Every structure is written in C-alpha cells, then in structure tokens.
Chains A and B, each alone.
Chain A
Amino acid sequence: MLMPAPEQDIIAQRLDLIAALRRIVPGEGVIADETSLRAFECDGLTAYRQLPLVAVLPSNVQQVAEVMKLCNERGVKIVPRGAGTSLSGGALPLADGVLLGLGKFNKVLDIDWDNRCAVVQPGVTNLGITRAVEHRGFYYAPDPSSQIACTIGGNVAENSGGVHCLKYGLTTNNILGVEMVLMNGDIVRLGGKHLDAEGYDLMGIICGSEGLLGVITEVTVRILPKPTTQRAVLAGFPTSESAGNCVAKIIASGIIPGGMEMMDRPAIHAAEDFVHAGYPRDVEALLIIELDGPPAEVDDLLLRVKEIAERCGSVSLRVSQNEDERLAFWAGRKAAFPAVGRISPDYLCMDGTIPRKTLPLVLTRMGQLSEKHGLRVANVFHAGDGNLHPLILYDANNPGELARAEEFGADILRLCVEVGGVLTGEHGVGVEKRDLMPAMFSEEDLAQQQRVKCAFDPSHRLNPGKVFPVLHRCAELGRMHVHKGQLAFPDLPRF
C-alpha cells in the first residue's frame, strides 16, 4: 500500500510545529515522544502501521479550530482519529502528518427526552450513548460490532451500520445535527434538533466521508424507545440457495426483521466449536432472524417466518422461548470473528455488498477463488441487506501468505462489483480498498467526488491517501475545457 510520499520539509520543521501546537493545546495534549506515539501507530487494520509526526489531543472546539488553521497555513496534513477501531485504515497515521485525537471529547452534553434526541461529543462511544439513555427505556439504534469501543465521531465519519440497520438505518439516518471544523478552521453547524437542515445536505455528505472533509466536534443523535420484545428464529438449511431463498421470501412477504444474519458451514463450525451455542453442524447455511417490536406484532410475525422457513426447506428450526435462548442464538454469531481467529493464526475480514439474489453464485465463485489462492474462507452475512463478510484465513508467518490473502480479498470485492454490488457495505474504503475504487467508479465518477473534497479542503491536507487511489490537484480537477462556439447547437427536439 503506497501512501503519499512524506514531505521532508514538513518533517524538518517538526520541533517548531510541536512548539506551535503546545501554544494551542497546553500540557499533555501534545504527544511527541516515540513510546507514547506507538499507541496511535495503527487502527483496526493492523497490517499497516506508521508513527505520526506528532499527536494532538485537544479538549475543546476552539483548540481543534486553531490546530487545523495552523496546520492549514503551514501545509501540514491532519489525520483525525476517534477510538481507532476502523477496519479499513481510515485512521492510519502519516509520517508527515499530525494525528488529531478526539478522545477528550467524551461528554454527553444534553439528553432531550421530549424531543427524543441527545447531544454528545464525538469521543463518546456508540454504546455509551445507549448506556446514557437506557434507564428511561431509550437506545441509540446503529450498533456496529465494535460498539463498546468505537466512538460516535468515528461512526459519523464511517457511516457505521450494524446488525439492525436494515430496519433502523445507518448512522446517516440516525443523526440530526453535527458541529464540525473545516480544514481552514471554520466552525460550522449543520442541522440541530429539527429535521432536514436547509440548503445542501452537507450533513449527508459528511457522514461516511472517512475524515476527509471535516473534523466532527459535536453530534446530535436520535434516540428511540426500546422495542418491548425481541425474539429470534434459528433456522438451518441444506444449501445456501435455500437459505437465500428464505431471506428473499421473508422480505417479499412484507417483513423487515430487526436482524437477519446468515453463516456458512465453516463459520457455523468455528462458532459452535468456540461458544457451543447449540448450532446444528450438519447444515450448509444457518439463519438467525430476529423480530422486535410490540409483543403482539412479534408473535404474529414469528409464526409467519417459521412457516416461510419450513416451506423453504429448513431442516432445523428453533424459536427462542426466553431471553437466555435468544442471546445464545446470537452468541455464536457475535463470536464468529474470534472463533475464526481460533482456527487460523490470522484472518482478513472483507466487507462487500451484493444483490441478495446473487448469493449462491457469489458463494460458488468464492469457493473457486479459495482453491485458486489456496486459502480457506468462512462467511458471515448480514443477509437482509446483502452485506457479506468473508473471513479469509491465512498465516502471516508463512512468507507471501498475507499478499495472497489480500489478492484473494481483492478478487472477492471485484466479484461483488461484477454482480452489481459494492466494495464496502459498512467498513469504509480507507487505505484497504482505496486502490480498488476504479473497479466500481469511472475516472469521471471519482473526479466529481474529489471536486467535492476540494470544496472542503482545497489543498488535500485532511486525511490524504485514503479513499482515492490517485490524488489530483484541485486546480486540475476544476479546470473546464470550454470550446465556445465549437459545440454545435444541440440537435434535440424542442419547443
């Protein structure tokens, strides 16, 4: 993975920069010694590591604005970071860049029960929001699997999802407002406690921009009343086709389950060996279908789901009879990643989305790719929305195996695009999938995205080297080749 070449003149002014940063953020807020900087050298994508030039941990929005203004004026790059749980390298530091950590922004500022929203600082964890509101029966809906650690600021940057997002939406559907700082130090507020901020939907584009457009300093989130009942169905199928068919039938019948997860045989076995969740071992695919809502609705829909699963050829069918059983159904799925970690020294977690109907084709082709690359793969799948997480098993101690695993992963993602899907459903592009972007987007598609980047950060100082495979200068992107008088008057019907 090639990152932009470090700018030596920036590295040369390191000490001067540190002194200037200390004038803005006093005391321990500026971290410059190598041992302490180690803590920031990578995020959840641990295959890539880099010490930042210096790390800054501001504690208020004015400090953030001043740090960004200073860096902008000096031409210094900034990499924003929340909890560092990104699986795509979104927070990978740069050797010539300031790492801007938002960890000190960890307060819940306001819980407005009547308006059903909460105003929080970006360093509050995803689960921390739910913890702050659950005593009155509320929760924050998006629930990425890293929710204990990941922060809401990072969730906004990555537009994080989770198992419940088919029914309840991603981060972008669950935030009402943000305050953010632009690279030039401008502080802007978008939205608030009301719906649909007027003018261009800039909040919509900030969400999922992977820290390339601005630094989030405050978020207003919607909080929802907790569903009174949650029950789950565990259904085993003899083929992935029949399981996929069951998912399609459930949705076509008008049911949007709170969660609908699929695992393939290798994933089922790894999970069962690890947590003994009671999963059937003699099936090719396992579905966990969770229904939530008012008890009358859940009971009603459970019967229908059960009937559909039976009609689709389910060979093992259980409905959770109590909360312990429901949690047991989930225990295996939630432990799938560490379970795979037990059977393989290392694994890569991919994140494509496919049209659901192509699942059998994709699994067949993935099997062929597995043979071609000589590496095993286990699949967990957010089946409701077609988001596939193939886990590629490899051993980093075997020379060349990481490279082979990465090539296998790239092949899988190209396959996802080929069948009409996308490179990433929820983990983000980051550095991991950056160079695959041309598989999905044309040069003009990417150029327009980068022009939007130029509107926010014309010198590419904010998190460069992520998302876009080639960095074009904004002046070059903005140039228009206008041939006045040479273009024919369009020969279109008119009146």
Chain B
Amino acid sequence: MPETFIPSGTTDVADLIKWAAAEGKPLSLHGHRSKAGLGRPAQTEYALDIGRLSGILDYEPAELVLTLRPGTLVSDVEKLLGASHQMLAFEPPDYGPLWGGAAARGTIGGAIGCNLAGPRRFKSGAVRDHLLGFTGVSGRGEIFKAGAKVVKNVTGYDLPKLVCGAYGTLVALTEVTLKVLPAPEKTRTVLIFGLDDTKAIQALSAAATSPHEVAGLAHLPAGIAAQSGIAYVARAGTSVTAIRVEGTEVSVKARCEALRDLLVSVGAPLEELHSMNSAWLWREIRDVAAFVLPQDRVLWRISVAPMSGPSVTAAIAQAQPDAQFFYDWAGGLVWLTLPPAEDAHAALVRSTVAGNGGGHATLFRADAATRAAVPVFQPQPEALAALSRRVKDSFDPMNILNPGRMVAGT
C-alpha cells in the first residue's frame, strides 16, 4: 500500500505535488476508491487522498450553480439538491458494487475524473456538460483556476472539459463548480414487452425522434429483465424496452399517452410504471445492477451510434454465445459481459465496434493482470495519441499525477 497524504486544502495539495515533482515521486490521486477497479492498475509509492477535501462551499438554487470540494459524496450532493427540488442532470451512476465495493461511496471528484453519466446522457449530457469551473493543482504543483461560476462563459479555453474523463492525470481538483437543474416533478416509464433487439432499438429511435421529449431509452433482453427488482419487469418472461418521460404531472400523462399511441404500431403489449417503480428501474439500469455478479466475468462498456447497438451485440454473441448485454442511450450504450479470457476478448469487441461504424469500448471490469496487459481504454490513432501525450505534458511534464491510469507509460 502506498503511503497516503491527507491534504487539508489547496495549498497542501500544491506543496505535496511540488515536492513529488521535484523528487520524481508519482502520486495516486483518490477519493474513497469506489472506482479503483476502473482504469489501468498503477503502483505508486505515495498517494494523495482528496476524499477528505469535502463540503459544500456555495449553493444558490436560483443561480443554478453549486460550488463544492471534490471529496463530497455524490449521495450527499443529491440529498442537498433534492431539498430544493434540483438535481445533477447527468444522473451520476453508483458503480461501487460493480467491483465488490459498497454503494453510495462515490465522490463528485471521482464522477468528474471518470466523466460519468447515467441514462439521461443522450438528452442532458455527461459531467463534461455540467462542470462550469474548477480550482486545482497541475502536475507542476501550480495552483490555477479555469472556467467560472456562471452557467454561460466562453472566456479562455474550456479546461473544465479536459479534466472530465482525465482520471486525475492532468489536475488535482480542489474546488469545482457544477451546473444544477430543476428535478422533474413526475416521472413515468412506458414499457414494451417482447421485442427483439433490432425492433426494440427501432422503437426507441421512434420515441427519440418524436416530439415527446423522452429522458430515458433502454432495452433489456429477457435474461437481463428477469433479474430486475421490479415485478412488472422481472416477471414479464420476455424482453422489456423502457421509455422514460419526465415533467409536470399533466404533461407526463399526456406524453405517455401520446407515446403509447405512437408505439401501438409496434404490435407489442405496453405497460406503464409510475414513480417508485420507475425510479427503481432506472437506477438498476444506471448502476448496471444486472452485472454486479458474478464478478469474474469481464465487463465492457461500449459507446456506438445508437442504431449500431444490435449489430455489435449480434456479432459478438455469434463468436461468444455466452455474451450477456443490455442497451441504454437508445442503443448507443451497450453493457456487455463475457467469461474471463486472457485478452478479455478485446480483439473481438474492438474489431466489432470498428466494423459497425466505430465508437469506443472500455474494459470496465477485469482482474488487474488483464487490465495491465490489455488497453482498458480505446487505443487511439497515432496522431491523436501523440496530441494527447502533449496535452498531458502541458499539465504534468514530470508524469506525477496518476501515471499509467489511462495509458501505459504516461
């Protein structure tokens, strides 16, 4: 285990990184390690615990902004916002249990570092679309800020975008400002039963193309639906396709009816889930609950053009009949598990994605040895990889911050 420093503020973080850079001692940055299993395994002598840098600094509901320390728990933020009927619109997932950890341990800093997003992603964006500004420390040990604390700003480069999904390899964040939005008053989910994958994704596309403003579009093949904690879904005995509608009560009712009219032509039975059941189902989808167990199966997260989802899974299932999967983001996000294998089936998965219009595949869960041997993140063409290395150098020239977490050697 690395020796872990516990900074109490931005200056401490800067002092420590300055020292580490001078001594050439790489640092692991972490909060509560709820997503430690995500990314390449990296060994360092020292670690920096950002998890204790927590707390709300400023929250003004009417301004739609929230400023806080990165170690604040996502679950605490959601409670705070909920009291003012607001939310983080990117719907941060709780992935802890996917690696055998506890639920509700994820921090805001972790959500930013991994650029997380839930089922509302296709409509409302990911963390990247909600991080307005930050203060942090570069790998040079310099304190700087970027972005701002207002919702509309184009002053200078949009560095907040860069730290989202950078896995702590560019900046140690010490203060962040997020855009928040009103939470919907009501949520309902229209379910369609018994569609095959292709027909399901077509139905989801029809819903997304309609003017009824849907906010969740998922398809669960029969084996996945059977594992749901919602009786309507689990006992269906067939596949379940889910369309979420959010808004005021009158509006949600009217739009669900309109969607049911639209989907009659699909010729499959329809059902509607209300409040609690609806929320539960989308939490299961968001947190990939179906694939928590068994943990020795490798888990892939695949992002493709929505209509390509079924052709990607069909090709993989043909080569690996034991593949299990379900779709979020109208088909654009595929969660896929496969039995363990030396290369985690990376060649199969990535060549299939490339052959179906492109996208990217992340090796979301595998043992450490596999994650060290197989690129966890989608390999990039050389010109792009070189540019990414230069960007890394521009923040962290001594390669001090989370080295090797994203790409071997950097």
Contact = CB atoms under 8 A, between A and B. Distances in A.
B7 A492 contact: yes
A294 B213 contact: yes
Contacts of B7: 492
A195 B387 contact: no
A451 to B, nearest CB: 4
Interface in B109-141: 115, 117, 121-122, 125-126, 128-129, 138, 140
Nearest to A173: B129
Given A251-B64, A256-B182, A296 B251 contact: yes
A454 B387 CA distance: 10
Interface string A304-321: 000000000000000000
Contacts of A252: 61-62, 84
Interface residues of B, number: 110
A196 interface: yes
Interface in A238-289: 248-249, 251-256
Contacts of B357: 192-193
Interface stretch (A35-43, A202-210, A399-407): A202-210
Contacts of B250: 296-297, 299-300
A480 to B, nearest CB: 6
Dominant secondary structure of chain A at its interface with chain B: loop
Contact of B19 (A137, A354, A382, A490): A490
B150 A421 contact: yes
A209 B161 CA distance: 12
A171 B331 CA distance: 24
Interface string A429-466: 10001000100111011111101111110000000000
A113 B117 CA distance: 24
A354 B140 CA distance: 32
A471 B152 CA distance: 26
Dominant secondary structure of chain B at its interface with chain A: mixed
B227 interface: no
Nearest to A171: B154
B306 A196 contact: no
A484 B20 CA distance: 10
Contacts of B61: 251-252
Interface of A: 112-117, 137, 158-159, 161, 165-166, 169-170, 172-173, 182, 186-190, 192-205, 207-209, 225-228, 248-249, 251-256, 293-297, 299-301, 353-357, 382, 385-387, 420-429, 433, 437, 440-442, 444-449, 451-456, 467, 478, 480, 482-490, 492-495
The 4 lowest CB-CB distance pairs between A and B, nearest first, are A204-B161, A297-B251, A296-B254, A254-B182
Interface of B: 3-8, 12, 15-16, 18-19, 21-24, 60-65, 84-86, 115, 117, 121-122, 125-126, 128-129, 138, 140, 142-146, 148-159, 161-162, 164-166, 170, 181-183, 185, 202, 205, 208-213, 247-248, 250-251, 253-255, 258, 303-307, 329, 332-333, 357-360, 362, 377-378, 380-381, 383-388, 390-395, 397-398, 406-407
22 contacts: A115-B306, A161-B152, A172-B129, A173-B129, A186-B386, A189-B381, A192-B357, A193-B358, A195-B121, A198-B378, A198-B380, A204-B162, A205-B157, A353-B151, A387-B152, A422-B155, A441-B145, A442-B144, A445-B145, A455-B390, A455-B393, A455-B394
